[in-house]
Amino acid sequence: MLNIAPRAAGCRRGVTIHRAAGMVAAGILILATGCSSKPTVNLSTPQNISSSGVDAGITVTGSAEVSGTPDTLTASFGVLTVRPSVSEAVAANAAVARGVTATLRARGVPTADIQTQNYSVFPSFITVHERTVPNGYTVGETMVVQLHDLARAGATIDAAIAAGGTSISVQGVTFSLESNKALLARARAKAWVDATAQAKQYATLSGRHLGPAAGIDARVTPSSYDATKLYGATAAQAAPSTPIQPGQVSTSVQLTVRFALS
């Protein structure tokens, strides 16, 4: 941009050129000498930006989902007992839990695959003639069991329900794939192909050349199949030899990749 101020009367035509500080970024300052009102001419030039300072790159997100047959069933059993006193309720609940655990162990379930969760003790109440009155104490806990032998999983769950009697219920059953290394490898490869294809297309559209990957952010989301509908019953409602249908579970991978452009 060129800005010229009016020259005062009687000014001489000679000029003196001074380089302003920071000439790399600024322009040239020209001063006319011998004037009471000094005119100035300001010449500004664009700032030079080196190629190293330009962020030449593209970020894309590739995704893929693959499916496989699950190898693990996780069952959650609820054990709940009500007795007149705390000690009686604790003892009764412990007896049921020990019986269920012994049954599971007898069917080949390792101790490491049986976990106690959500243990609680609290007063119990009932309603009599529209009045709430105490009727003892309730002790409850959740037993989370992992079963790796899916062919025998149905019979194992039925046996655990029989061992718990009316004090046990099935709170949920899910399938998952623990040995999923091969599945993950396939998902990663498919996600990479997806990301690369997107980056190549954008590079072509912008008239640039796709460079190497400068950064990768990977996210894996394993999914599990909720089979609670197979076991949404208490012991009194459960049927023996319940069939197990593992179906398929999926694993998804999302890759956010930063590619250089040239």
Low-confidence residues of the chain, pLDDT below 70? Answer: 1-55, 223-241
Domain extents for the chain? 2-47, 71-176+230-242
For position 20, what pLDDT does the model report?
42
Strand order in the sheet with 168-176: 114-128, 131-147, 72-83, 168-176, 225-226
Instruction: Report the Cα–Cα distance between both ends of the chain, in Å, rounded.
Output: 32
For position 153, what pLDDT does the model report?
94
DSSP string, the chain: -EEEPPPPTT--S-EEEEPPSSTTTS-EEEEESS-SS--EEEE--PPP--GGGS--EEEEEEEEEEEE---EEEEEEEEEEEESSHHHHHHHHHHHHHHHHHHHHHTT--GGGEEEEEEEEEEEEEEETTEEEEEEEEEEEEEEEEE--GGGHHHHHHHHHHHHGGGEEEEEEEEE-S--HHHHHHHHHHHHHHHHHHHHHHHHHTT--EEEEEEEEEEEEE--EE-GGGG-SBTTTPPSS-------EEEEEEEEEEEEE-
For position 221, what pLDDT does the model report?
86
Give ∠ CA 190-192-196 in degrees, rounded to 5: 120
For position 144, what pLDDT does the model report?
98
Task: Tokens for 233, please give them.
Answer: 């019953």
For position 232, what pLDDT does the model report?
42
For position 82, what pLDDT does the model report?
96
For position 224, what pLDDT does the model report?
60
- Taking domain 71-176+230-242, whether its CATH number is 2.60.40.2700 is answered by no
Q: Please, are residues 253 and 63 in contact by the beta-carbon 8 Å criterion?
A: yes
For position 242, what pLDDT does the model report?
78
